[in-house]
Chains A and B, each alone.
Chain A
Amino acid sequence: MKLKWAFLSLSFFVVTLLSGCNLLVLDPKGPQAERQAHDIILSASIMLFIVITVFSLLIYMLIKYRASKQSEDYEPPYIEGNKWVESIVIGIPVLIIVVLSIVSVRSNYIVESAPEGYEEEPLVVYASSSDWKWHFSYPEQDIETVNYLYIPTNRPLEFKLYSHGSITSFWIPQLGGQKYAMSDMVTTLHLAADEPGEYMGRNANFNGKGFAENTFNVKAMPQADFEDWVEEVKETAEPITEDKFQELLEPGHLGQLTFNGTHLEFSPAPEGENGGHQHGNSEHDKNQHSSEEASEH
């Protein structure tokens, strides 16, 4: 009982310590991030218990069995090992790992599927990265933004991630964990925002010179506000053209841009028949070109 009480108070201590700092990851604003923060606190508390066990044993041994504490002629005994001690030492960690495994597997399935408890269909957003920007395409609304993301609250979000170059990682810490964006396949990240607000988003995977500034702003707002914004964009924004989009792909930082239409129409995401190993003929010239380039090096 005493141990359990000590353990509980310790977990409480860790929770208050970590949440007291207001760290982004431990200040979740959506169901996925909440689940992850929960896992983090839970595992940290259990791990703290192990750390304390090891520390206490070490301190005990050091205090009790220092040479200076013992008589000159003390001769330490030969101890092969003890079945019971070793079973406990194996058994408890195994138990802990089993518990954590169950939690981990359940969380995997939760994080990898659309968040539950929302009435509306998920909003699909294609987030694609190029050096060193993010392009957000809203196929349903037929608009596109660069380096900023407006999302409705209380609606599941389904991000379709891919890259126009090196591997990047799409991450909005307060809404949920990250996922890679790669050039030859589309990965899916399920998120949702419960509270309106502005959140930090960034590419978390190193992709060269402009990596540090490869961030974007996320603004979550009620559905009605979101729709107003979409309307406004449709009325005011320039249409995106293939030439314009090619220009955007050039390496650099662009600031925030807004367009009517999406680039998916003329430069589709690498999914389905456009996926990695089945590049169509439209890519032919480009491939030829790049292989020539490579052989010149």
Chain B
Amino acid sequence: MKLDHTQPLEYSTKQNQLNILGFWIFLGAEIMLFATLFASYFTLEDRIGNGPSGGEIFGITPVMIETILLLTSSFTIGLTVNAMRIGNKKAMLTFFVITLLLGLAFLGVEIYEFYHYVHVGAGLQTSAFTAILLTTLGTHGAHVTFGLFWGLFIVSQVKKRGITTETTNKSFIFSLYWHFLDVVWIFIFSFIYLKGMM
């Protein structure tokens, strides 16, 4: 395996570079996925049938908590990559675990939020609006859930195998994924919650 020492570790092999470019393109596909969900959401937003509208069910508190948790986790995954670059394994693992814990907390609040929606009569089957709302939020939530498992696997690999070309590559790609989920959340926050509550 040829190593290019002028590059950071995660970029240092040909395969690593391919992986990172591939993941960027995958994120392009993810953008299309969420763009389609948003477009459908805007189309179905007013079609509430006999169910409640967004303004009637959105609560500001859980949404703000979720936003703060996810934004902070995006910051800590940045710190993780930073620690990884300077080769500080302990700091890297600490920040990584904090990121995952924040993600877990986010997920907890989101599950509570879903429970609340169903409780007030905004279930998946209520109307086109509730269906697309829960599907869009759920797709994001499923991505976070997937990320939690994935992140956990990477943490255990970094712990066991140290900071290598492979683990740095995986961690870096994970950080791209996590930032992406944060960006999606900002769109959800602005165009679903804020727009709905106004």
A294 interface residue, CB < 8 Å from B? yes
Q: Do B47 and A276 have beta carbons less than 8 Å apart? A: yes
A1 to chain B, nearest CB (A): 53
Q: Do A279 and B125 have beta carbons less than 8 Å apart? A: no
Q: Which residues of B contact A277 (CB under 8 A)?
A: 46-49
Q: CA separation between A281 and B46, bound complex, in Å? A: 17
Q: In chain A, what residue has the closest Cβ to B129?
A: A277
Q: Which one of B46, B47, B48, B49 has the highest number of Cβ atoms from chain A below 10 Å of its Cβ?
A: B49
Q: Which residues of B contact A284 (CB under 8 A)?
A: 50
Q: Which residues of B contact A295 (CB under 8 A)?
A: 125
Q: CA separation between A83 and B50, bound complex, in Å? A: 63
From 136 to 195 in chain B, residues with beta carbon under 8 angstroms from any chain A beta carbon are none
From 262 to 282 in chain A, residues with beta carbon under 8 angstroms from any chain B beta carbon are 276-277, 279, 281
Q: In chain A, what residue has the closest Cβ to B126?
A: A291
Q: Do A287 and B49 have beta carbons less than 8 Å apart? A: yes
Q: Which residues of B contact A294 (CB under 8 A)?
A: 125
Q: CA separation between A287 and B46, bound complex, in Å? A: 17
B55 to chain A, nearest CB (A): 15
B27 to chain A, nearest CB (A): 33
From 29 to 58 in chain B, residues with beta carbon under 8 angstroms from any chain A beta carbon are 46-50
From 14 to 37 in chain B, residues with beta carbon under 8 angstroms from any chain A beta carbon are none
Q: Which residues of B contact A291 (CB under 8 A)?
A: 125
Q: Which residues of A contact B46 (CB under 8 A)?
A: 277
Q: CA separation between A279 and B46, bound complex, in Å? A: 12
Q: In chain B, what residue has the closest Cβ to A277?
A: B47
B154 to chain A, nearest CB (A): 40
Given contacts A294-B125, A295-B125, contact A287 B50 (CB under 8 A): yes
Q: CA separation between A294 and B46, bound complex, in Å? A: 22
Q: Total contacts A to B, CB within 8 angstroms?
A: 15
Q: Which residues of B contact A279 (CB under 8 A)?
A: 49-50
Q: Which residues of B contact A281 (CB under 8 A)?
A: 50
Q: CA separation between A277 and B45, bound complex, in Å? A: 10
Q: In chain B, what residue has the closest Cβ to A276?
A: B47
Q: CA separation between A294 and B127, bound complex, in Å? A: 13
Q: Which residues of A contact B49 (CB under 8 A)?
A: 277, 279, 287
B143 to chain A, nearest CB (A): 27
Q: CA separation between A283 and B49, bound complex, in Å? A: 9
Q: CA separation between A185 and B49, bound complex, in Å? A: 14
Q: Which residues of A contact B50 (CB under 8 A)?
A: 279, 281, 283-284, 287
A144 to chain B, nearest CB (A): 29
Q: CA separation between A284 and B49, bound complex, in Å? A: 9
Q: In chain B, what residue has the closest Cβ to A288?
A: B50
B45 to chain A, nearest CB (A): 9
Q: CA separation between A71 and B50, bound complex, in Å? A: 82
Q: Which residues of B contact A283 (CB under 8 A)?
A: 50
Q: CA separation between A291 and B126, bound complex, in Å? A: 8
Report B45-85 CB contacts with A as 1/0, cut-off 8 Å. 01111100000000000000000000000000000000000
Q: CA separation between A146 and B50, bound complex, in Å? A: 32
From 90 to 142 in chain B, residues with beta carbon under 8 angstroms from any chain A beta carbon are 125
Q: CA separation between A287 and B50, bound complex, in Å? A: 9
Q: In chain B, what residue has the closest Cβ to A295?
A: B125
Q: CA separation between A283 and B50, bound complex, in Å? A: 9
Q: In chain B, what residue has the closest Cβ to A184?
A: B47
A184 to chain B, nearest CB (A): 9
B53 to chain A, nearest CB (A): 11
Q: Which residues of A contact B48 (CB under 8 A)?
A: 277
Q: CA separation between A293 and B73, bound complex, in Å? A: 43
Report A82-118 CB contacts with B as 1/0, cut-off 8 Å. 0000000000000000000000000000000000000
Q: CA separation between A291 and B48, bound complex, in Å? A: 14
Q: In chain B, what residue has the closest Cβ to A284?
A: B50
**Contacts beyond the supplied A277-B48, A281-B50: 5 A-B pairs with Cβ under 8 Å:** A277-B46, A277-B49, A279-B50, A287-B50, A295-B125
Sample (15) of A-B pairs whose CB atoms are under 8 Å apart: A276-B47, A277-B46, A277-B47, A277-B48, A277-B49, A279-B49, A279-B50, A281-B50, A283-B50, A284-B50, A287-B49, A287-B50, A291-B125, A294-B125, A295-B125
Top 7 nearest A-B pairs by Cβ distance?
Answer: A277-B47, A291-B125, A277-B46, A284-B50, A279-B49, A287-B50, A295-B125
Q: Chain B: residues with CB nearer than 8 A to chain A?
A: 46-50, 125
